[in-house]
């Protein structure tokens, strides 16, 4: 699939990424994949109740994460964004604790199912299960950014403040009214807003052609007066370039972008799904051959930035990190019953 990335410079932004950064990106993809695999194993072992996987999306998510001001810009993710939030700063240990629903769980204190990411200190907004609810809220976050710029409550050049709101969702969720209303505000008010549609061709079992009458989600963007671009989601650097472009637009006050990343989940929708009922093994195998991590390994190896020895070190480190995270989570206590009644209302500002 060709990348249709419009940039204003001849050199792609990814070209100026340092080797260390590239290795960081690789590590982020790897640790996300390995954590994800471990969660599947735990589920099949009967140790956890539920897992919803992002395997196959690592290129899209890590590429996007590195293109924004991670930990500062607002991110309102969806349930498949494990690699995205790990790249921003959520840890494997955090994620493990959430799989087991233990006390002090980072996103919700154990009140939410796993993969309902949220962490205020990294400006990751807490999400829910009904899909697309995050999109108009993200537009509202972007609205607040613009509001502060316009009312002189903050400086658009201040990189210690959020300067854009990024939200992600699957292509199926763009059928929700919520998505349309959020996109409409983003267009009307030219908001510093990026909607990253991670198009993996299926909404659980429902394929694209049952979901929408257009071939590409990006084709919908002009209807809202929003710029739309498509990108190969499994090419991490292409995603980085597209997202970098969208982020700069937002920072400049040039408005919103809809980025459609074409990708694929090589696993069922969740631990409770059986994808054999709606797609062929051949299709899945063909996409496995386009695995974003393998692709990036090839790119980095070819550039001499990564070799087998280093990859082995990363694998070992990943294994160790995950084992430790799992041990920690398994031995952590459950929340006390009193937590049921905690945090219903926010206290007054002091």
Checking phi first, is residue 221 left (phi over 0); if not, alpha (psi -120 to 50) or beta? alpha
**346 is a contact residue toward another protein (CB under 8 A):** yes
182 makes contact with another protein (CB under 8 A): yes
CB of 172 vs another protein, minimal distance in Å:
17
In this complex, which beta carbon is closest to another protein, that of residue 225 or of residue 278?
Answer: 225
CA distances from 253 to 189, 223, 246 (A): 10, 20, 11
If binding is defined by CB under 8 A, does position 138 make contact with another protein? Answer: yes
Of residues 120 and 289, the one with the C-beta less far from another protein: 120
Give the C-alpha separation, 128 to 118, whole Å: 10
Residue 13 CB, nearest distance to another protein (Å)? 27
Considering only 45-53, 119-127, 203-211, 254-262, which stretch makes contact with another protein by CB under 8 A?
119-127
Using CB under 8 A as the criterion, what x/- string covers residues 93-112 for binding another protein? Answer: ------------x-xxx-xx
Nearer to another protein, 78 or 240 (CB): 78
Q: Does 195 bind another protein (CB under 8 A)?
A: no
For residue 314, what are the CA distances in angstroms to 23, 34, 42, 321?
10, 11, 22, 10
Q: Which residue in 60, 61, 115, 137 binds another protein (CB under 8 A)?
A: 137
3-class SS at 234? Answer: coil
Altogether, the residues listed in the chain come to a count of 350
Q: Which stretch binds another protein (CB under 8 A): 35-43, 81-89, 183-191, 297-305?
A: 183-191
- Contact (CB, 8 A) for 191 and 99: no
Q: List the strands of the sheet with 165-170, edge to edge.
A: 74-76, 165-170, 193-199, 257-262, 227-232
> In the range 249-288, which residues lie near another protein by CB under 8 A?
none
Q: Please, which residue, 70 or 189, has the CB nearer to another protein?
A: 189
Please report, to the nearest 10 degrees, the dihedral formed by the alpha carbons of residues 246, 248, 250, 254 taken in order: -100
Examine residue 160 and tell whether it contacts another protein (CB under 8 A).
Answer: no
342 binds another protein (CB under 8 A): yes
In this complex, which beta carbon is closest to another protein, that of residue 76 or of residue 93?
A: 76
Q: Which stretch binds another protein (CB under 8 A): 6-14, 94-102, 320-328, 339-347?
A: 339-347
Phi, psi of 213 (to 5 degrees): -95, -5
Strands 74-76 and 193-199: what pairing? unpaired
Q: Is the Cβ of residue 172 or residue 182 nearer to another protein in the bound state? A: 182
Quote the tokens at residue 62: 């890590």
Strands, DSSP E only, in the chain? 74-76, 165-170, 193-199, 202-203, 206-207, 227-232, 257-262
Residue 173 makes CB contacts below 8 A (sequence gap 6+) with 78, 131, 132, 135, 179, 203
Distance in angstroms (rounded) separating the CA atoms of residues 249 and 246: 5
Kindly tell me which of 118 and 233 has the beta carbon lying closer to another protein.
118
Kindly tell me which residue out of 36, 58, 171, 178 binds another protein, with binding defined by CB under 8 A. Answer: 178
> Three-state DSSP class for 229?
strand
Out of 24, 181, 216, 330, the residue judged to bind another protein by CB under 8 A: 181
In angstroms, what is the minimal distance from the CB of 220 to another protein? 16
Number of residues in contact with another protein, rule: CB under 8 A? 48
With CB under 8 A as the contact rule, the residue among 119, 226, 242, 318 that binds another protein is 119
Nearest to another protein of 133, 257 (CB atom): 133
- The token pair that represents 107 in the structure block: 């996103």
Q: Shortest distance, CB of residue 135 to another protein, whole angstroms?
A: 8
Q: Which residues bind another protein (CB under 8 A)?
A: 74, 76, 105, 107-109, 111-112, 116, 118-120, 125-126, 128, 130, 133, 136-145, 147, 150-151, 153, 162, 165, 177-178, 181-182, 184-185, 188, 342-349
């Amino acid at each position: 699939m060709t990348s249709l990335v419009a940039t204003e410079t001849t050199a792609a932004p990814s070209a100026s990424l340092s080797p260390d950064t590239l290795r960081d990106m690789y590590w982020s993809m790897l640790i996300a994949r390995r954590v994800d695999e471990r969660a599947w194993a735990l589920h099949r072992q009967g140790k956890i109740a539920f897992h919803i996987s992002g395997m196959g999306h690592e290129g899209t998510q890590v590429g996007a994460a590195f293109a924004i001001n991670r930990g500062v810009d607002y991110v309102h993710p969806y349930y498949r964004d494990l690699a995205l939030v790990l790249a921003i700063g959520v840890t494997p240990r955090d994620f493990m604790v959430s799989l087991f629903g233990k006390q002090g769980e980072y996103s919700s204190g154990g009140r939410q199912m796993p993969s309902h990411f949220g962490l205020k200190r990294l400006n990751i907004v807490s999400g829910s299960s009904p899909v697309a609810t995050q999109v108009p809220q993200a537009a509202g976050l972007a609205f607040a950014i613009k509001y502060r710029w316009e009312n002189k409550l903050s400086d658009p050049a201040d990189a210690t403040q959020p300067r854009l709101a990024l939200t992600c969702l699957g292509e199926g969720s763009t059928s929700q009214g919520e998505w349309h209303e959020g996109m409409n505000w983003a267009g009307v008010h030219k908001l510093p807003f990026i909607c990253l549609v991670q198009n993996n061709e299926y909404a659980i079992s429902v394929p694209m052609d049952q979901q929408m009458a257009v071939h590409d989600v990006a084709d919908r963007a002009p209807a809202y007066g929003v710029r739309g671009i498509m990108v190969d989601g499994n090419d991490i650097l292409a995603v980085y370039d597209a997202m970098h472009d969208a982020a700069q637009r937002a920072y400049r006050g040039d408005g919103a972008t809809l980025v459609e990343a074409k990708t694929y989940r090589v696993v069922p929708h969740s631990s409770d799904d059986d994808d054999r009922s709606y797609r062929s093994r051949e299709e899945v195998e063909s996409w496995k051959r386009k695995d974003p991590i393998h692709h990036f390994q090839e790119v980095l190896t070819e550039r001499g930035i990564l070799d087998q020895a280093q990859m082995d070190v990363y694998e070992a480190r990943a294994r160790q990190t995950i084992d430790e995270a799992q041990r920690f989570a398994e031995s952590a206590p459950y929340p006390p019953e009193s937590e049921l009644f905690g945090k219903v209302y926010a206290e007054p500002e002091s």
